[in-house]
Amino acid sequence: MPPLPCAELHLHIEGTLEPDLVLALADRNGITLPFADAEDLAARYAFTDLQSFLDVYYATMDVLRTEQDFTDMTLAYLRRAATAGVRHAEIMMDPQAHLARGIPLETCVGGVATALATSDAEIGISTSLIIAFLRDRPASEAMAVLHDLLAMDAPIVGIGLDSAEAGYPPSLFAEVYDVARAAGLRCVAHAGEEGPPAYVWEALDVLRVDRLDHGIRCLEDEALVERLVADRVPLTVCPLSNVRLRAVPAIEDHPLPEMLARGLNVSVNSDDPAYFGGYIDDNLAAVVGAFGLGIDEQAMLGANSIRSAFLGDHRRAELLAEVEAWRIAGHAARVG
């Protein structure tokens, strides 16, 4: 069968830097890296927690220097995503990580936006850009970046909140989210991955997010689960990421089946696929293999992703029809 048509809603574009591209960009920009080759770099992707990943993540990100670098990185992701069944992608980028290296906002935003501008026509994936703020940096810095983005009329659909979660509750960024919402931007935030269920509550009630990234620890709070189910709040779950960062011990221990059984609005995403062992099709294959998800359950995950995306009615209906056609074809193939 062809891959499941879906939307990718939890994807950090800097996390798509494959070792070969890291080395190619380093060579193009005359950067000396602290590892010998692609195999040496890949061997460093044995993470023990979120911080150990972030240390490597920010080191490899240093190869991104020019607008063309950002464009090439984004195109590489889109081409791979197309083979995985992705039909719509809402891509997050961390501008503060680039500004700290002296890369202008116009360079990183412009480079990614250039690739996204032609993604539908040339690759078959509709796209939008979400600017994610680093929660372990001051909220005042995020606010300054947001004002700069608004002043330059950046082609973004929303804002997010990522990086090290523990010790940095969502409420620290309440004013940033108020300004973004007033400007017409959609709001998402990482919560409930390393942080406790209380962070999910804050993301809902203080930041008033439209969508939650991760959220797997919601199961620790019955009232929270009831709230998420009642409001159909989207949860963008990243199974291979959770395993690689030790949020869960193994894929067989992932809470996805329980989340589905409880009626939570869950989709499967890849997070930082170059670092966590797989793109969205790899993540889907992992959970299908671990939990024996059938055609209907897989189709539900695809439909959840599309209903949770920031899409217009026409495009949403078009993609939901693709998922339904995939579901019907899957049953027909089994009967045949």
Q: Report the catalytic residues.
A: 193
Q: For residue 14, what is the DSSP state?
A: G
Instruction: Enter the tokens of residue 323.
Output: 């998922």
Contact predicate 11/92, CB 8 Å: yes
In one-letter notation, the amino acid at residue 53 is F
Distance CA 71, CA 58 (A): 18
β-strand partners of 187: 159
Contact predicate 190/144, CB 8 Å: no
Give residue 275's Cα distance to chain centre: 13
Q: What angle do CA 155, 160, 163 make, to 5 degrees?
A: 125
325: helix, coil or strand? helix
Distance CA 107, CA 90 (A): 19
First to last CA, the chain: 13
Distance CA 80, CA 84 (A): 7
Q: CA Rg, the chain, in Å?
A: 19
DSSP one-letter string for 90-118: EEEE-HHHHHTTT--HHHHHHHHHHHHHT
Helices (H), 9-152: 19-28, 38-43, 50-60, 67-83, 95-99, 105-117, 119-123, 139-151
Q: Given the structure tokens 């959220």, which residue do they identify? A: 215
Residue in 127, 123, 136, 137 with CA at minimum distance from that of residue 158 = 127
Instruction: Enter the tokens of residue 316.
Output: 């949403």
Instruction: Enter the tokens of residue 203.
Output: 């993301």
